[in-house]
Structure 1
Amino acid sequence: MPHIPLESHLPGITGLLEYNKVTAQPIRDLTQILLRGPSTLSEFDRELIATIVSHGNQCKFCTTAHTAAADLLAGEAETSQKIKEDIETAPVSEKMKALLTIAKLTGQSGRNVTPTHIERAKAAGATDIEIHDTVLIAALFSLYNRYVDGMGTALPDNPAYYNVLAERLVNHGYTRLPQGYDHLKK
């Protein structure tokens, strides 16, 4: 049960973002830029970063939501599952293994990222901006994870909600739907 009154048809982060649209807007804007804006990292890569951080922070809502988005973007579910099991054996490039490791470590504490981790990413072809954006995405999703869990938000009643959410994230990004979310009421 949420610690504050939230709309029951909006589980997880959506209810929090609707609760206070003033604080939600800059968070939504930054997320849209980082996950859907121009980048040499694909949208799939960036969803994997959100997934690994949320998984490491044990945030069930965010892990499931971003896994679903990554799976939809990839057209398969194996890769996102494998990165949660073991980054080093996952079917991603060496560059993504290095960036996912940096993301996972950032999710724990930014101080866990060492020059060795950065050197590995650069040796695998990661650019400075890719490293920057990986750390910023990881920090942002750590904020989201703590926000969602710290406010005790509800999980969806129906697991299919995550597929609907994934389609919204993939097709509309992280901006607020112009019509709002009343259509999700039961």
Structure 2
Amino acid sequence: MPHIQVPEGVPGIRSLVMFRPETGQYLYKLAQVLLREESPLTPAERELIATHVSARNACVFCMSSHAAAARELYKEDRAIVDCVIRDGDAAPVTPKMKALLVIAGHVQQNGKNVTEADIAAARAEGATDRDIHDTVLIAAAFSMFNRYVDGLASFTPTDPKEYDAMGVRLAAVGYTLPKPVSA
């Protein structure tokens, strides 16, 4: 049960944005810029970073919804997402993506945990300054989103199938503000 009165049955961050749209609009815009607008990382890779961080933070709603979006975006390679959730080190991603996931994991713990060696390892695998920047910002933003969703105990569906529709919507239209609930 959510800690505050939000629209009943509206899952995760959507209910919180509906509660306070004047702040939520900026969170959605940030998610749209980070996960869908121009970047050298694909939308699937960026959703994978968000999923990885959310899984490490044990934020079931964010992990599940972004994993569903990443699966949609990866299409036939969708199994990659579940491999990263289970064990990022063993996941069948590129060496560059593995290095970026290490950086994201360090940011999730504490930004100061990112070392010069982490950056050098990512660069050695072809990561650019923009790849590294976007990875760190996605990891930092999703740590905040995870804490927002879990800190207010927002509604988290327990049936994994409920996230499938979310994934289709996020992959197709990105991060659009939810419509207000009619009174």
Match of 1:172 in 2: 173
Q: Partner of 1:44 in structure 2?
A: 44
Aligned to 1:34: 34
Whether the aligned pair in 1 keeps the contact of 2:69 and 2:168 (CA below 8 Å) is yes
Two-structure CA RMSD over aligned residues (Å): 1.5
Give secondary structure in 2 for the equivalent of 1:86. Answer: helix
**Within 5 Å, which residues of 2 pair with 1:29-108?**
29-75=29-75, 76-108=77-109
Counterpart of 1:14 in structure 2 is: 14
Question: Kindly tell me: are residues 53 and 72 of structure 1, through their superposed partners in 2, closer, same or farther at Cα, counting changes over 3 Å?
Answer: same
**Alignment partners' CA distance in 1, 2:141 and 2:161:** 25
Any idea what the Cα deviations from partners look like across 1:56-79, whole Å, max 9, x if unmatched?
Answer: 000011111111111111124320
Q: Which residue of 2 aligns with 1:135?
A: 136
* Amino acid corresponding to residue 63 of structure 2 in structure 1: T
Post-superposition Cα deviations, 1:73-123, rounded to whole Å, max 9, x if no partner, equal: 112432011112222221110100000111111111101111100000011
In the TM superposition, what whole-angstrom CA distance separates every residue of 1:116-155 from its partner, at most 9, and x where no partner exists? 0000001100000110010000011001100000001111
How big is the shift at 1:13?
Answer: 0.8
Partner Cα separation in structure 2 for residue 32 and residue 108 of structure 1: 24
* Residue type of the alignment partner of 1:171: A
5+ unaligned residues in a row in structure 2: which ranges?
A: none
CA contact (8 A) 2:7 2:181 kept: no
Query: What is the percent sequence identity of the aligned residues?
Result: 46
TM-score, normalised by the number of residues in structure 2: 0.94
Deviation of 1:158 (Å)? 4.5
Letter in 2 for 1:132: H
SS at match of 1:6: coil
How many residues align? The count is 181
CA deviations over 1:138-185 (Å, ceiling 9, x no partner): 0110011000000011112643321111111111111215xx1659xx
Name the structure 2 match of 1:4. Answer: 4
| Alignment partners' CA distance in 1, 2:158 and 2:96 | 37
Cα distance in 2, alignment partners of residues 163 and 20 from structure 1:
26
TM-score normalised by length of structure 1: 0.92
Q: Which amino acid aligns with 2:13?
A: I
